[in-house]
Structure 1
């Protein structure tokens, strides 16, 4: 990784944003101007990540929260908070999107606590693992090829509940990596920073997660649960 002018690391490759490309250098320039107080630069910078944040929020808003709030409102709250805290970014030492995503996660956690659960322990789990039905279906489709079509077949047989139970048996971090990679469409490098892992460790956990899902979905209903919940 390289460091930008204000001391924060950025990956050397580009980030895809719809039909356009956001380069690290363009983000660096906008960040420099935004943190010096230029409002227009801040608006342009944050607007580039609205779609990615919207996807992330929709992934993690299950029916209990989605029935009360709109994802666009959560994203707007996130961007407003980020605008107020831009000067803190240089201390974060993470890619800009990972920093924004954490603000969105914190906001979702607050909203789950306020609208869904009064138990802090439940809220902490929800901020990692509160998936909408649409997200479950999309993950099944995304992973269908990697699991020999088993998960895709589960959708056709209306067995999303079984997939939900299978995902729930994965170690928390392994499950989160699958969600970030296949639903949020995050890059391996971003996931590595967000999880505090090396890129090779992320890839290994992803492969193990897919394989574990395959085994869970293949086993007989009367079979025993997998004995290991290791990384």
Structure 2
């Protein structure tokens, strides 16, 4: 794993047009970008498209990156912003076209346990209203601060905090109910 100085140097080279540095930087960020998008949106049908758009936005934003925060957190904010914009555009398009959801593809057998854990987390998150789910994912899975969540979602910090609290209360209540329903 490279240190902060190496990352900063690679960012500068990529921002200056060094194709190899840009490719290496984006390849390193791709798994994180894809995972964040999977947690932010319902369903996996558009993850690749959203990831591509997020990586393009990250690449375009490199000249403005300041190394006062880790590159990954900066990229997370851009990814969240791009994913939310994509979802808004998709909702508008789906409402017009009445589009159907894509079928889910099952994972390879060796990835089944991780897949099932991710699906369970996604299932629980899917029970929440979009604003609460998005705030919880950004705060608890991406580890953004409340002000960073607010900025990414375009709301006030109080609204972000409220969404996180209400969503967590709903998740706890649902988990308690599921536990009570278990044999």
TM-score (norm 1): 0.47
Q: Which residue in the other structure is 2:142 paired with?
A: 186
Q: Which has the larger radius of gyration?
A: 1
Q: Which runs of 5+ in 1 are unaligned?
A: 1-19, 120-133, 144-162, 220-231
Q: How far apart are residue 31 of structure 1 and its match?
A: 1.7
- 1:113 partnered with 2:92: yes
Q: Larger helix proportion, structure 1 or 2?
A: 2
Q: How far apart are residue 139 of structure 1 and its match?
A: 4.5
Q: Which residue in the other structure is 1:96 paired with?
A: 75
Q: Which residue in the other structure is 2:169 paired with?
A: 211
Aligned positions of 1:1-231 closer than 5 A: 20=1, 23-63=3-43, 66=45, 69=46, 71-89=47-65, 95-114=74-93, 116-118=94-96, 137-139=120-122, 164=127, 167-168=128-129, 172=131, 174-182=132-140, 185-189=141-145, 192-196=147-151, 206=164, 209-215=167-173
Q: How far apart are residue 136 of structure 1 and its match?
A: 6.7
TM-score (norm 2): 0.56
User: CA offsets, 1:170-195, max 9 Å, x none?
Assistant: 9x3x442223345xx20144x64132
User: CA offsets, 1:122-173, max 9 Å, x none?
Assistant: xxxxxxxxxxxx96731567x9xxxxxxxxxxxxxxxxxxx72xx23x9x3x
Q: Larger strand proportion, structure 1 or 2?
A: 1
Once residues 202 and 73 of structure 1 are traced to their aligned partners in structure 2, the CA distance between those partners, rounded to angstroms, is: 27
> Is the CA contact (8 Å cut-off) linking 1:53 and 1:104 kept in structure 2?
no
* CA RMSD between the two structures: 4.1
CA distance change for structure 1 residues 89 and 105 in 2, over 3 Å: closer, same or farther?
farther
Q: How many residues align?
A: 149
Q: Which runs of 5+ in 2 are unaligned?
A: 98-116, 178-183
